[in-house]
Structure 1
């Protein structure tokens, strides 16, 4: 697979963990018991390519004017309502916006009015699954990893629906994130698969993210233009 290498003109990329799994058994040759050089090169190429694309796409979304971003976020929230329907009795894990992500705070704060429970992700340890903790309007927050606010209290819950922001996405509903690998680890570790919805802007679409064995696809990707589903 030929993947373009990094372009120095685009910067070095983010400094967070790239999300590569600690275990590389999926690359081990079953006969020799060693890692395939070709597979290792491929994984390194994907890592470099993702670093460059991640930086480009974050810059692209941060360049969206604030008024336009609010309008796009409202359209995404309306599409979430159409796709998710009745959420009564459900636990919905969402997020607080970071680096130009769609701002769904008003939508999250309204979940209790729809008899649903809102939760936010919390990083509890490096290279570990996220913990989702309940949160509602007015409840205290504290700075978390990368200074993203997280609930200061709340109760740990297992969500029925996970809404995950995307840096980029492809037609197969694979998500390119910020590079920490937290959502992939979390979704793989949950005892029951929730409904997984990626949200982002239509302009962040990619032909492919070159998914690896550890990448978990979303059930759908919602943008201001509509929905893509597997």
Structure 2
């Protein structure tokens, strides 16, 4: 996905912009549906091994993997703008009727702490760091819940180098449509 004209690894906003544009283009191709299926099967197998009591998922934004068909007890994040933070709310799997303060669909159930969370990645490194949308919501949540198994869900084309910042939290695993990455 990167070209010689790609931004400097320290320019996270430019990397994010380029990766999101590439993801939108990818989502408009027939390969996108194949990638969804190629990621779904190993994710289901991985979750079967982990046996989460409560699985934190996310409501997919444009071009993200859709984790909605997973059958474990689930929770969706609810993001607050002021003070910035995030909590998970139990979700029955139905169409969410609520939106969080960032405008993303969420559940109205009780606040809960999942033992396994799926974290959407705009970009990622082999060392397990994720480039998200720039709000730091998942990083703050992961910092407050260090024992949780965090699985980054990404498209293989999102692998990039970027400058890791002090607030960034490494993920336990990253799963793409091509491979499972277990950072050292």
The two structures have a TM-score, normalised by structure 1, of 0.70
Does residue 218 (structure 1) correspond to residue 174 (structure 2)? The answer is: no
Aligned match of 1:198? 152
Picking from 50, 54, 66, the partner of 1:103 is 66
Q: Select between 81-90 and 176-185 the one with higher mean Cα deviation.
A: 81-90
Distance 1:168 1:71, change over 3 A: same
Distance 1:84 1:140, change over 3 A: closer
Aligned match of 1:35? none
Residues of 2 paired with 1:140 and 1:181: CA distance?
23
**Alignment size in residue pairs:** 178
Cα pair 1:70 1:103 within 8 Å, conserved: no
Shift of 1:79: 1.4
Is the partner of 1:96 in helix, strand or coil?
A: coil
Residues of 1 paired with 2:141 and 2:171: CA distance?
13
RMSD: 2.3
Aligned match of 1:180? 135
Between Structure 1 and Structure 2, the one with more helix by share is 1
Shift of 1:88: 4.7
Shift of 1:178: 0.3
Aligned match of 1:32? none
Shift of 1:154: 0.4
Picking from 80, 96, 101, the partner of 1:124 is 80
Shift of 1:181: 0.5
Aligned match of 2:3? none
Aligned match of 2:100? 144
Is the partner of 1:85 in helix, strand or coil?
A: helix
Cα pair 2:81 2:102 within 8 Å, conserved: no
1:35-46 equivalences in 2 (<5 Å) = 46=10
Shift of 1:155: 1.0
Cα pair 2:16 2:131 within 8 Å, conserved: yes
Picking from 56, 61, 70, the partner of 2:23 is 61
Shift of 1:71: 2.3
Is the partner of 1:130 in helix, strand or coil?
A: strand
Residues of 1 paired with 2:65 and 2:178: CA distance?
13
Residues of 2 paired with 1:85 and 1:221: CA distance?
16
Task: String of CA shifts for 1:118-151, please: whole Å, max 9, x gaps.
Answer: 0000013435331100102226422324431111
Cα pair 2:142 2:169 within 8 Å, conserved: yes
